[in-house]
Amino acid sequence: MKPVILVTNDDGVYSPGLRLLFEAVSDLGETIVVVPETPKSSTGMGLTLHKPLRAYRINYHGMPMYLLNGTPSDIIHFAHRKIVSEIDLVVSGVNIGDNTSIQVILSSGTVAAAVQAWLLGIPSIAFSVAIESGDELEHNILLAETIKKISRTLVEKVLKEGLIDADFLNVNFPSEITEKTRVVTAKPARLRFIENIEERVDPRGKKYYWIYGVPAPLEKNSDTYELLVQKNIVITPIKFEISCPLSAQLARLENILNNVLRSVIYSKKR
Amino acid sequence: MKPVILVTNDDGVYSPGLRLLFEAVSDLGETIVVVPETPKSSTGMGLTLHKPLRAYRINYHGMPMYLLNGTPSDIIHFAHRKIVSEIDLVVSGVNIGDNTSIQVILSSGTVAAAVQAWLLGIPSIAFSVAIESGDELEHNILLAETIKKISRTLVEKVLKEGLIDADFLNVNFPSEITEKTRVVTAKPARLRFIENIEERVDPRGKKYYWIYGVPAPLEKNSDTYELLVQKNIVITPIKFEISCPLSAQLARLENILNNVLRSVIYSKKR
């Protein structure tokens, strides 16, 4: 039986990154494309709980797909519940702009789709490329070809072997491929951006604000460093080991708080 | 000098949880309240990058505050850049509804504010209570009083000692306080909800969909279990140890992909 591959992204139907990923994997299985109706960058793991979702089927230049008016996380649940019950692999991307560092991994829509898949027990891979505009993919044939071949090989391997020791893979491609480019693994940096806010005044004299990020200082040997400085293709196997370090400080706190709790209960009983 | 405490939440200005937290800590320092203009549950770590932000100053029943038309993550950056440059502690909540499990921690707006604070190097605590409606806080005096006293003690301690071995604290209160209630620490479950999708038909005959979560099977000794079954007050010190396990499988993959990369570069050069 052919494996079922769900292809999604957070940039929407017109992204050349979506087409690249679709073309890379479409003959490796039964490929289903579901994307947000409008771009959903930086939506993190958000779910749409407070309003209804609508889905449309379209065919965009030979790529049949579903559009959903929701987030990448909504898409994973919608595909899993309403399109096909068994999904063998989720691939998300190729995102225009890198997704490196814990900060970005936690807020990226592209990565969120991979995280949601992991939560459902489905292997997943997020792909991103460190370019500013999708046009660059159309003009840099070596870059596009590399992304296609590398993604395809990775998908073939994961379909065959699964992900042994990671929740999911986060893959980032550099802005250009040179003779020096290598495929490496690297752990996520903590910060990718320092967020600033620019204050402006609208035509009616009222203040408004824009949030924007400037690059944070580079952390040596991190995913960001390997990608932006070394110009390597970076694979980061992500494992959410959200730990619960039980320090002496915490044990003391627990004690103090239990005493507070006893005194509140006692005072209310009297 | 008085410490600066930023109070925020994701339910907005009318939440009794916000007032409770404000009253618990307001005399412990210079307290600044900044909340989203409209409720932002389940917005995850999303940032508003594609549209301008607006801020308003209001005074709601003796509680001076800023309203921002953005997400909890936006609020942390806005407060840090535009209201006060030094923040000693961020407290977020008290959320109506628990925030337990990795799944929910990664998508909760309340927790996202604490994560953003950590990324900026500011100690932070997220507070939530396992009730369905804010009204319950107004009718259950023992619960409200317990939340107030426990939050206050925790904030005093963290202001004095900092967080030694955690990125931030995630605190959940049970739906009611009994003689058996204790303060405990517990690690996060993986799943809190199984997401379902209900299909409906609108008055014009078109399909629409609602996502909703039903409780996932309980994981023993987890934060969810301690909270919902044992009815304890649960403190989870969160440390994002997103690791990068370099397995033999991955080393093999790296090798294979490097060979693919060489062959793409070579074929394009000829």
Q: B174 with B130: CB under 8 angstroms?
A: yes
**Cα separation, A55 vs A49, whole angstroms:** 15
CB pairs under 8 A between A and B: 288
Mutate to test the interface with A, among B49, B242, B258 (most CBs of A within 10 A): B242
Task: Give the residues of chain B that fall short of pLDDT 70.
Answer: 242-244, 270
Q: How confident is the model at residue A243 (pLDDT cuts 50, 70, 90)?
A: low
Choose the mutation target among A69, A261, A269, A270 for the interface with B, i.e. most B CBs under 10 Å. Answer: A261
Q: How far apart are CA A27 and CA A5, in angstroms?
A: 10
For chain B, domains (ranges, CATH) are 4-189+219-238 (3.40.1210.10)
Phi and psi angles of residue B4, each rounded to the nearest 5 degrees, phi first = -100, 125
Residue A184 has a pLDDT of: 95
pLDDT for the residue A217: 96
* A177/A175 Cα distance (integer angstroms): 7
Residue B1, min C-alpha distance to chain A (Å): 25
* Residue B102 contacts residue B190 (beta carbons within 8 Å): yes
B243 and A185 Cβ atoms separated by less than 8 Å: no
Which of B64, B129, B49, B50 shows the shortest CA–CA distance to B94?
B129
* Tokens of residue B139, six digits: 């009718």
Tell if the CB–CB gap between B241 and A244 is shorter than 8 Å.
no
CA proximity to A93, closest of A40, A137, A129, A60: A129
Nearest CA in chain A to B255: A183
* Mean pLDDT on A82-96: 95
For residue A73, the chain B residue with the least C-alpha distance is B107
Which of B20, B111, B195 best tests the A interface by mutation, with the highest count of A CBs <10 A? B195
CA of A205, closest CA in chain B: separation in Å? 13
Pairing of strands A193-201, A207-215: antiparallel
CB-based contact B258 A47, cutoff 8 Å: no
Cross-chain Cβ contact B242/A238 below 8 Å: yes
Residue B202 has a pLDDT of 94
**Contact state of A73 with B107 under an 8 Å Cβ cutoff:** yes
The string of pLDDT tens digits covering residues A92-115 is 999 999 999 999 999 999 999 999
**Which residues in chain A touch residue B102, judged by CB atoms under 8 angstroms apart?**
119, 240, 242
Which residue in B has a C-alpha nearest to residue A191's C-alpha?
A: B119
Judged by CB atoms closer than 8 Å, whether chains meet at A44 and B48 is answered as no
DSSP H or E stretch at residue A214:
strand A207-215
| Chain B residues with beta carbon closer than 8 angstroms to that of A102 | 119, 240, 242
State the residue for tokens 């806005």: B78
> What's the rounded Cα separation, in Å, for the pair B36 and A172?
33
Neighbours of B138 (CB within 10 A): 13
Q: Locate the chain A residue with the closest alpha carbon to B43.
A: A46
What sign for the dihedral angle of Cα B158, B162, B164, B166?
positive
Say how far apart CA B157 and CA B163 lie, in whole Å: 9
> Are A183 and B258 within 8 A, CB to CB?
yes
Nearest chain B CA: its distance from A123 CA (Å): 15
Which ipTM score applies to this complex?
0.90
Q: Tens of pLDDT along B87-146?
A: 999 999 999 999 999 999 999 999 999 999 999 999 999 999 999 999 999 999 999 999
pLDDT, residue B246, reads: 73
B243 to chain A: which residues are within 8 Å by CB?
Answer: 187, 239, 241
Establish whether the linkage from the previous residue to A94 is cis, with ω within 30° of 0: yes
The reply to whether residue A209 touches residue B52, judged by beta carbons under 8 angstroms, is yes
List the structure tokens of B113.
């504010």
pLDDT of res. B164: 76
- Residue A195: CB atoms within 10 A of its CB come to 23
Q: Answer whether 0.90 is exceeded by the pTM.
A: yes
CA distance A231 to A225: 8
With b for 16 or more beta-carbon neighbours within 10 A and e for fewer, the B160-192 pattern comes to: eeebeebbbbbbbbbeebeeebebbbbbbbbbb
The C-alpha atoms of residue B208 and residue B256 are separated, in whole angstroms, by 45
**Residue B270: predicted pLDDT:** 62
Of B42, B78, B242, the CB nearest to A209: B78
pLDDT at site A12: 86
Which residues from B are below 8 Å from A115, CB to CB? Answer: 106
Q: Which two tokens stand for residue B5?
A: 């405490």
The pLDDT assigned to A150 comes to 97
What number is the average pLDDT over the span A17-40? 93
Distance separating alpha carbons of residues B245 and A239, to the nearest angstrom: 8
Centroid of chain to Cα A82: 22
Measure the CA–CA gap between A110 and A126, rounded to whole angstroms: 6
